[in-house]
Amino acid sequence: MPSIHADHHYTHDADTVWHRIRGFGDLKSWLPGVTDCSVTGTGVGATRTVSMATGGQVIEELVAYDEASRRFSYRIVAAPGVREENRFVATVSVRPVDKGCRVTWQADFDAADTPPEKLEAARQGGEQMYRFCLSHLATLLDS
């Protein structure tokens, strides 16, 4: 199963960073390109509809949330270029490290019917986007 992985070290403590990103419906405050994010339901099973500046929408479902471990997982229900059978599930976690914390954002998905060259391009594009978003978060935290 292919995966996407990005992580970023922050000089801020884990609680500070976690409090900034833990809100399932709060993407607009830190994720670049998000113009709106609405949530239906609460807790695990809640869905969010994310509207992008490009005009696209992504619908995601919260599948796990652990406040104590500073970790949540979501699956993409609907998105441009992502099919339900891709079973795209991502996890974001914040853990303390020396002199700050590390945020890891990783995703696994099934792309059995995708040609290898397209799969690798999609994987690299996902990693690039995750790294950009985590770098943008660092800028917000430092301002």
Read off the pLDDT of residues 59-105 as tens digits, 9 standing for 90 and up.
999 999 999 999 999 998 988 776 665 688 999 999 999 999 999 99
Strands (E), 55-99: 57-66, 71-78, 89-97
pLDDT at 110: 80
pLDDT of 31-50, one tens digit each? 999 999 999 999 999 999 99
Q: Are 17 and 71 in contact (CB under 8 A)?
A: no
Structure tokens at 126: 């996902």
Domain ranges of the chain: 3-142
pLDDT at 71: 98
Q: Are 48 and 63 in contact (CB under 8 A)?
A: no
Structure tokens at 24: 């399932």
The whole-model pTM stands at 0.91
Q: Which of the residue ranges 4-8, 81-85, 116-120 would you say has the lowest mean pLDDT? A: 81-85
**CATH domain 3-142 topology:** Alpha-D-Glucose-1,6-Bisphosphate; Chain A, domain 4 (3.30.530)
Give the closest residue to 13 by CA, choosing from 133, 104, 106, 141: 141
